[in-house]
Amino acid sequence: MTKMKDLSPGSNATLEGEIIEKEEAREVITKFGKKTRVASAKLKCEDGEIKMTLWEDDVDKVKEGDKIKIEDGWVTEFRGELQISTGKNGKISVK
């Protein structure tokens, strides 16, 4: 498991925690011109919290209160805040 203090933009991480907030999904246009759904959430781990971006099928996979594991998640920084998503190779599982 990756520790919050070890997260940095452009790295991969595996985290376990609880979804403590989840916004409604919204439709966006990707940089490739494709429509997709996205939702923001907040993941609380034992050593901190991180904003999480849920794309497409992952939007419906989790809800507030779910305990999840994100494996090989992609860490980015947006407006000075670290975020994690599944990226290209990651996956989310509900425990």
pLDDT tens profile 70-84? 999 999 999 999 999
Mean per-residue pLDDT of the chain:
95
Distance between CA atoms of 64 and 72, rounded to whole angstroms? 21
Give the pTM.
0.91
User: Which CATH number covers residue 79?
Assistant: 2.40.50.140
Give the structural domain span for 71: 4-94
Which helix (H) or strand (E) element contains residue 75? Answer: strand 67-78
**Looking at the 3D structure of the chain, how many domains does it have?**
1
Residue with tokens 């992952």: 58
pLDDT given for residue 31 in this prediction? 84
